[in-house]
């Protein structure tokens, strides 16, 4: 991997957090249902921050909360030495993306997950906007759910080259071209992960550990840098013990 001193600000920060915490785990705060989502997020961060390097808030946690609530959550995460990722899979026209990103950065998020279907111009603009604030963009390359193969693995015509290519390969190249700060590739997509890691130039964030069948040892071998783990920790009988287990497993 590139030396920390050469990385973009978000990449550098999360790499340093990972080193300080001795953890490559990104805690996905994805409750199936919570009567008090803010309390859930704050409590989870306070209980588990020693064992993770970042937290990821998905759309269904962000949606019911106010800007003040989300700012409180990101402030606590930063105080506990964690980076904050907004996982909204942003996918809209450039102006809408710009405004959404502006709000997220104002609330203290360090990175935003974006769908590369928005195209090169819009994605490059999003990267520029976040880099101006020392934050980052993480793009989807191949998701972890079973239905991902229907489209991420589909053959499409690259309008620039006229050649047929797998969609995930185009997404991979696009992430590199626009200097994104990371890409999402499911840990349970072993062949895809292995293929991409051989030519990747940016960090790989892998969901799909545990419940979706991904194994940390194999994902490490195949090139994952950071592991996104949610339900296997927060829905366990003992979340602290589960977080420690994944922290230890992810030590290369």
pTM of this structure: 0.92
* Of residues 41 and 158, more confidently modeled: 41
Question: So what's the pLDDT on residue 38?
Answer: 95
Residue 6: which pLDDT band, with cuts at 50, 70 and 90? low
For 80-139, the pLDDT digits (tens) are 999 999 999 999 999 999 999 999 999 999 999 999 999 999 999 999 999 999 999 999
Q: Which are the contacts of 82, defined by CB distance < 8 A and separation ≥ 6? A: 17, 45, 49, 52, 53, 54, 55
- Provide the angle, in degrees to the nearest 10, between the axes of the packed helices 239-249 and 37-48: 50
Question: So what's the pLDDT on residue 154?
Answer: 64
- CA proximity to 116, closest of 128, 127, 107: 127
Give me the residue spans of the domains in the chain.
Answer: 4-249
Question: So what's the pLDDT on residue 89?
Answer: 96
pLDDT at residue 39 is higher than 80: yes
* Of residues 100 and 199, more confidently modeled: 100
Task: Give the residue numbers annotated as catalytic, written as ranges.
Answer: 89
The architecture that CATH gives domain 4-249 is Alpha-Beta Barrel (3.20)
């Amino acid at each position: 991997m590139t030396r920390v001193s050469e990385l973009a600000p978000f990449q550098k920060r999360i790499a340093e957090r990972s080193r300080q915490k001795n953890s490559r785990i990104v805690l996905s705060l994805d409750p199936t249902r919570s009567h008090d989502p803010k309390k859930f997020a704050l409590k989870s961060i306070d209980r588990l921050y020693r064992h993770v390097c970042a937290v990821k808030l998905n759309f269904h946690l962000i949606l019911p909360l106010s800007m003040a609530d989300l700012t409180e959550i990101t402030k606590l995460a930063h105080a506990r030495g964690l980076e904050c990722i907004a996982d909204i899979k942003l996918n809209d026209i450039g102006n809408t993306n710009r405004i959404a990103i502006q709000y997220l950065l104002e609330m203290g998020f360090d990175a935003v997950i974006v769908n590369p279907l928005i195209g090169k111009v819009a994605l490059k603009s999003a990267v520029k906007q976040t880099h101006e604030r020392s934050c980052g963009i993480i793009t989807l390359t191949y998701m972890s759910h079973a239905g991902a193969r229907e489209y991420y693995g589909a053959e499409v015509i690259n309008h620039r080259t006229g050649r047929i290519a797998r969609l995930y390969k185009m997404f991979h190249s696009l992430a590199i071209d626009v200097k994104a700060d990371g890409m999402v590739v499911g840990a349970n997509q072993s062949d895809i992960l292995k293929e991409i890691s051989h030519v990747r130039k940016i960090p790989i964030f892998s969901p799909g550990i545990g419940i979706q069948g991904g194994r940390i040892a194999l994902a490490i071998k195949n090139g994952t840098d950071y592991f996104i783990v949610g339900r296997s920790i927060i829905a366990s009988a003992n979340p602290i013990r589960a977080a420690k287990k994944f922290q230890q497993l992810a030590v290369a």
